[in-house]
Chains A and B, each alone.
Chain A
Amino acid sequence: MRFAVAVFPGSNCDVDAYRALHDVLGRDVEYLWYRETDLSGFDGVILPGGFSYGDYLRPGAIARFAPLMEAVVRFAGRGGMVLGICNGFQLLTEAGLLPGALLRNRDLTFLCDTVPVRVENADTAFTRCCQNGQVLRLPIAHGDGNYAVDAATLAVMEQRGQVILRYCAPDGTVDEQHNPNGSVANIAGIINGQGNVAGMMPHPERAAEELLGGTNGLFILQSMVQELERRQHEASRC
């Protein structure tokens, strides 16, 4: 099982993702430069956080045209697992792999904190190690995390269980008071219709060690690992 961590000019949480997967979970991980066009040999792709192209124009707007993104689109089309974290989430919406868009935070300021989020659908490849309704404490650090989508699309997403994480109170209550950035319906993370591409503003890779304040992020990363193990197992059986 091999993970690719994409590196765009201006990515800066590529290191965080690498460390969580490699140092903490002991997985095979490689950095992949944005000019690469080949993802063969990789089973999972992480689009990390940071400021690709300085977030100029809009976060993810320019990175979306990087050669590597063409490969990511093909990879996702074949059912490959792609997780976009923070800037990676913004990039996935810009590339059209996920619905909606991420606007400036409601208060217009960058926000670095650790916040509770509720798992809305534990029956996905990215949340399988969680329980429905489980509250995870995850770091956030973003200026543009205000998720927006039109009402019709949102209704479909809700119905299909595509909302996987919502900002909430420590006890799991979802209300406007515990919405750090103004996201519609407190949305913190979503998944595509096929279930193989996910995007989230919180940073699971930054919550992987007790020393750094908690390990709740491992629920997400382990889910991905389990899914890939399951796929490998299946592939070897037939």
Chain B
Amino acid sequence: MKLPGAERTARVGLTDAEYARIVELVGREPGDLELDLFGVMWSEHCSYKTSRPLLRLFPTTGAAVLQGPGENAGIVDIGDGLAVVMKVESHNHPSAVEPYQGAATGSGGIIRDIFTMGARPVAMLDSLRFGDLGEARQRSLFRGVVKGIGDYDNCMGIPTVAGEVGFDDSYTGNCLVNAMCVGIIRHTDIKRGAATGVGNPVILVGATTGRDGMGGASFASVDLTAASQERKSAVQVGDPFLEKLLLEACLELFRTDAVVGIQDLGAAGLTSASCETAARGGMGIDLDVALVPRREDGMVPAEVMISESQERMLVIAHQGREEEVQCIFDKWGLNAAVIGRVTDDGMLTIRNGDVVVGQVPAKALAEQAPLRHPEAVRPAWQDDLLDLDVTRLQQQDDWTGTLTALLGTPTIASKEWVYRQYDSVVRTNTVIGPGSDAAVLRVDGTDHGIALTIDGPGRMCLLDPATGAAMAVAEAARNLVCSGAKPLALTDCLNFGNPEKPEVFWQFSQAVVGMSEACRKLRIPVIGGNVSFYNETGASAIVPTPVVGMVGVVEDLAHICRQGFGEPDSVVVLLGA
């Protein structure tokens, strides 16, 4: 007997209207497995159903843009036939539950997003927020997150070259862990996540599939409660060693021309990778979950489809090249299993051995979640925030004391404790590492460089989300310019509370508007990004925290500039407004 609609939809976190739309798209009532797939794919985390209409405001084109938003990562031209691939992504919720693994798998996920495009990852950045370091729990989160990032990035042999850390009480229940990865690629080597060519094999490579990270995507789309702290099966464990092998194996595979398309398995695992590649290619995929290499017994098809086991990729290869692909992964000691084929019916067909256990249009899953247009209301308390009369502040006499106190606050103090735990120089391209306005890297085989920074002035966004978000763009651009680079493009991570609350959605809309304007004025396109909603515990949301990661090009490495006074008797000049 079928459960009535309402109960079924609530189980997978969808609304009745969304359920009705599913019935319309599928042409019948979906089965349980099918509904599970819609549940994860139509979650906020995967579908961007709430943010997408607003994100259209961002300028995303420009002469240098080779790939804008929509793929695994954005790509921007840096000359000499080379390009930068970059993306930033949040792993806030997993890190709040298990800081070490949460942060580690955050790094792992964003690194896969970069090499899935065909690029060699060359740098990592991170943006972190915690509550008051006076609390033991916050210190242990901070310690765990930094160690998680360090252990993963260091083991991957990708230098972590810059980042930022801030502290504010609003992050007490919801720390922010945003990781950014930057890769370099030749224009001619760019790979895309599209499945084409009827009959081409669909190959799952990398780690085995287990129950870890079950339902992580829908997990990221709910407020954190005591119960979610208990959802321990959602804890994914990172294996940077396996990912390092996967990286090298994939780059080796790309040097053959056997690959048609490739996509990493992130949120919603095999489900998103298969329906997204099929949808992008305008094709279907027919796969058999019984062929998926597993590490646990007794997994049902739905578990295999939505598992978020880390360090896996989906490769679509040319028919007849299966053995060649197999051979490369064998060399690196990794699994490679043909689990299905590309079809021309536009359907994602899931078999378990001989039995078809689910069949839905790939596009419906990947692209047709109904958009939400929540209400946006300027909070009543916004005026109180702005109503500070600075002339009434107490005059300070002890300037030295004030300065020392300021320098001693964790948000302002040196972040050396953090970045000493990151290998910032591996691969010997780091010209300026952490500790300056922006990091500068040499681009192999040229006399150019790239400069990288990540910034997010949270407090400003609370006072005025539009101006604050614009300031994030401006700050990132200034950091690059100060280092001797010309800003080229940015990727963003928008960390906000629950968008179903009108005040939060107002903050979000304002921030997007402000950021878009700044991008237009400075002519810096947005080539990718990530939205993290539901950063709330109990009644309180985090302060709105848009984070901007930006890349610039350094024409000549002889003309770069470090932060800090270089030598005595230098002239000091204050520039700007």
Contacts and interface: CB of A to CB of B under 8 A. Distances in A.
Complex contact flag A–B (Cβ < 8 Å):
yes
Contact of A110 (B240, B421, B427, B557): B421
B425 A112 contact: yes
A141 B241 contact: no
B156 interface: yes
Contacts of B244: 9-10, 12, 51, 54
Interface-central residue, A9, A20, A53, by most chain B CB under 10 Å: A9
B154 interface: yes
Interface in A32-70: 49-51, 53-56
B241 A16 contact: no
A90 to B, nearest CB: 14
A1 interface: no
Contacts of A209: 428
Contact of A112 (B147, B156, B422, B429): B422
Given A10-B245, A212-B431, A54 B425 contact: no
Interface residues of B, number: 30
B105 to A, nearest CB: 15
Interface in B396-436: 419-431
Contacts of A16: 426-428
Contacts of B31: none
A153 interface: no
A51 B155 contact: yes
Contacts of A113: 420
A109 interface: yes
B333 A111 contact: no
B239 interface: yes
B426 A141 contact: yes
B442 interface: yes
B150 A141 contact: no
Contacts of B426: 12-13, 16, 49, 141, 206
A221 to B, nearest CB: 13
B157 interface: yes
Contacts of A49: 426
Interface string B120-163: 00000000000000000000000000010011001111000000
Contacts of A50: 157
A116 interface: no
Contacts of A212: 425, 428-431, 442
B420 A112 contact: yes
Given A110-B151, A110-B154, A112-B420, A9 B425 contact: no
Nearest to A16: B428
B442 A55 contact: no
Nearest to B150: A110
Contacts of B430: 212
Contact of B155 (A54, A111, A206, A208): A54
A53 B242 CA distance: 9
Given A51-B244, A111-B420, A12 B157 contact: yes
Interface residues of A, number: 29
Given A109-B421, A111-B420, A55 B155 contact: yes
A139 interface: yes
A19 interface: yes
Contacts of B333: 9
Contacts of A238: none
Given A13-B426, A19-B428, A51 B421 contact: no
A54 B241 contact: yes
Contacts of B425: 112, 139, 141, 206, 212
B295 to A, nearest CB: 16
B241 A15 contact: no
Contacts of B427: 12, 15-16
B576 to A, nearest CB: 30
Contacts of A211: 431, 442, 557
Given A12-B157, A54-B241, A110-B154, A141 B147 contact: no
A53 B423 CA distance: 18
Interface in A180-238: 205-206, 208-209, 211-212
Contacts of A208: 428
Contacts of B147: 109-110
A10 B333 CA distance: 12
Interface string B452-469: 000000000000000000
B428 A51 contact: no
A98 to B, nearest CB: 23
Nearest to B449: A211
Contacts of A109: 147, 150, 420-421
Interface-central residue, B245, B426, B427, B430, by most chain A CB under 10 Å: B426
Contacts of B241: 9-10, 51, 53-56
Contacts of A12: 155-157, 244, 426-427
A12 B42 CA distance: 39
Nearest to B419: A112
Contacts of B428: 15-16, 19-20, 205-206, 208-209, 212
Given A10-B155, A16-B428, A51-B155, 16 more contacts: A12-B157, A12-B244, A12-B426, A13-B426, A15-B427, A49-B426, A55-B241, A110-B151, A110-B421, A110-B422, A112-B419, A112-B423, A112-B425, A205-B428, A211-B442, A212-B442
28 contacts: A9-B245, A9-B333, A10-B155, A10-B244, A12-B155, A12-B156, A12-B426, A13-B426, A15-B157, A15-B427, A15-B428, A16-B427, A51-B155, A54-B155, A109-B147, A110-B150, A110-B154, A110-B423, A112-B423, A139-B425, A141-B423, A143-B154, A206-B426, A206-B428, A208-B428, A209-B428, A211-B431, A212-B429
